[in-house]
């Protein structure tokens, strides 16, 4: 994730999901923007962005 961040990749995590796993604070420390992501994700998909999930 650090390499992706260094390369300029925008890193996001769904707050609801990360809260369920108890990793929200860890992800924030790693430089990931932790937000409620349902509406932004829907817009990206409608705008034909390529989404990488894992």
Domain ranges of the chain: 2-46
pTM of the predicted model over 0.75: no
> Each residue's pLDDT tens digit in the chain (54 positions)?
788 888 998 888 999 999 999 999 999 998 899 999 899 889 999 999 988 777
**Dihedral over alpha carbons 37, 39, 41, 42 (to 10 degrees):** 160
The pLDDT, as a whole number, for residue 5 is 81
| Phi, psi at 21, each rounded to 5° | -95, -5
The pLDDT, as a whole number, for residue 52 is 78
The pLDDT, as a whole number, for residue 53 is 76
Longest CA–CA span in the chain (Å) reads 31
């Amino acid at each position: 994730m650090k390499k992706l961040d260094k390369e300029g990749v925008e890193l996001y995590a769904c707050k609801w999901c990360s809260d369920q796993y108890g990793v929200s604070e860890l992800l924030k420390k790693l430089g990931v923007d932790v937000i409620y992501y349902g509406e932004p994700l829907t817009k990206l998909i409608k705008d034909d962005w390529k989404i990488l999930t894992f």
